């Protein structure tokens, strides 16, 4: 797998329709350990 053993931070995951969510899923499927973040609305 392309990202096996890597740690990846994905910023801006708001819901399952966001581009960041798709990027996180792809990274996870490629073997990465994924950390997701999003900012709270103020």
Report pTM: 0.81
Task: Note whether residue 18 is domain-resident.
Answer: yes
Task: Note whether residue 11 is domain-resident.
Answer: yes
* CB-based contacts of 6, cutoff 8 Å, min separation 6: 31, 32, 33
Question: For the chain, how many structural domains are there in total?
Answer: 1
Sign of the Cα pseudo-torsion (7, 10, 34, 4, in order) = negative
Task: Supply the range of the domain harboring residue 28.
Answer: 7-37
Quick one: CA torsion of 16, 18, 19, 23, rounded to 10 degrees? -30
Task: Read off the pLDDT of residues 1-42 as tens digits, 9 standing for 90 and up.
Answer: 899 999 999 999 888 899 999 999 999 999 999 999 988 776
Task: Note whether residue 1 is domain-resident.
Answer: no
Unique residue bearing structure tokens 């910023």: 11
């Amino acid at each position: 797998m392309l990202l096996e053993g890597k740690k990846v931070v994905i910023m801006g995951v708001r819901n399952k329709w966001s581009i960041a969510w798709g990027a996180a899923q792809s990274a996870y499927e490629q073997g990465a350990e994924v950390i997701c973040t999003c900012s709270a609305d103020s």
